[in-house]
Every structure is written in structure tokens, then in C-alpha cells.
Amino acid sequence: DAMVIQNPRYQVTQFGKPVTLSCSQTLNHNVMYWYQQKSSQAPKLLFHYYDKDFNNEADTPDNFQSRRPNTSFCFLDIRSPGLGDAAMYLCATSSPGGAGKEQYFGPGTRLTVT
């Protein structure tokens, strides 16, 4: 089945130690998104790629970076995780010109910062 895959599902990192979360898709969608979701809160968009064009949300901290080496993969890098960065990180894809605005989500990676 075509889908969005996130690895790992659970990630534990130490305060200040860089961490990378990964997302891959088999849908061939041209847009990939990263959301941060904290408990009892709405998913908050951090940034997205439309093809190779990177679009950062104005309030996304510089501590968060992203890479998209090809259509299928997208990475979220947290350069110096703080305790406040513990959250669920959701990857999603869409194809605005084709399948419309529906976003397809991965299962998420739960990040714990110790």
C-alpha cells in the first residue's frame, strides 16, 4: 500500500544532543510537511517542502531544520533539543495539483528529551 512511513516511532535523546527524524513516502506527492504536536494541542506546522522549495513557518525556531534529498524522503533535524521540544512529530504529504488538498499522515515519531 502507498503510504507515509516515519522512523523511528519512538526516539529518546539527551538535552542538547542533535537528533534526526526521518520520513519517507511511496505516494509520489510533491509536498511534504513536518508538524509538531504536543499533548492536547493541535498539530503545529513547522515547515514544508513543495518539491525542492523549502517553506519555513515564521515562528519555527532556528533549532529545527529540514532536508529533502529526493521526492521520497524528508528529514527533520533538531540541532540542540531542549526539554520543550519533547513532542509527537508528524510527517504528512499532499499533492495539491493532483489529488487535492488532502494530507496523508505518517504514524508519528514521539520524541523524548532527557
- Residue ranges binding another protein (CB under 8 A): 4, 31, 33, 40-43, 45, 48, 90, 92, 94, 96-97, 101-108
In angstroms, give the least distance from the CB of 22 to another protein: 16
Q: What distance in Å separates the CA atoms of residue 97 and residue 20, rounded to the nearest whole number?
A: 30
User: Which of 81, 87 has the CB closer to another protein?
Assistant: 87
In angstroms, give the least distance from the CB of 68 to another protein: 16
In angstroms, give the least distance from the CB of 26 to another protein: 15
CA 40 to chain centre: 19
